[in-house]
Amino acid sequence: MAFDRFFTVTRLRSRFDIRGISERGPWDVAGIEWVTEPEVDAVLLPVAGDRKIRTSEELEAVFEEPLTDVMPARRLWVHERLLETVQKLWEQRSKRAQ
């Protein structure tokens, strides 16, 4: 049985980290740590702000949500089909940081 795969993005106040990708690059998909949907479901903590993201609309919405002092970070489990979208966001934010 084939399961959908996800990768982890941690959204912080003004930036985000992708598990397996250095903050300063380069973008190298070989470093991404993939997990299956059952693995995500086993560790997902919605009460702590975790989100399972399957669509670009869900991804956009989570970046528009304000972070608070109580919840300064969010862990996102992003579906593999959004890899290119996340790469573009990561590249845009990396350029701003330089």
What pLDDT score does 4 carry?
Answer: 96
Tell me the whole-structure pTM to 2 decimals.
0.87
Q: Report the C-alpha gap between 87 and 80 in whole angstroms.
A: 11
- In tens, the pLDDT along 24-69 reads 778 888 999 999 999 999 999 998 889 999 999 999 898 888 877 7
If one counts every other C-beta atom within 10 angstroms of the C-beta of residue 58, the result is 15
What pLDDT score does 72 carry?
Answer: 76
**CB under 8 Å to 35, separation ≥6 — which residues?**
5, 6, 7, 8, 77
- In tens, the pLDDT along 9-19 reads 998 876 788 99
Domain boundaries along the sequence of the chain: 5-97
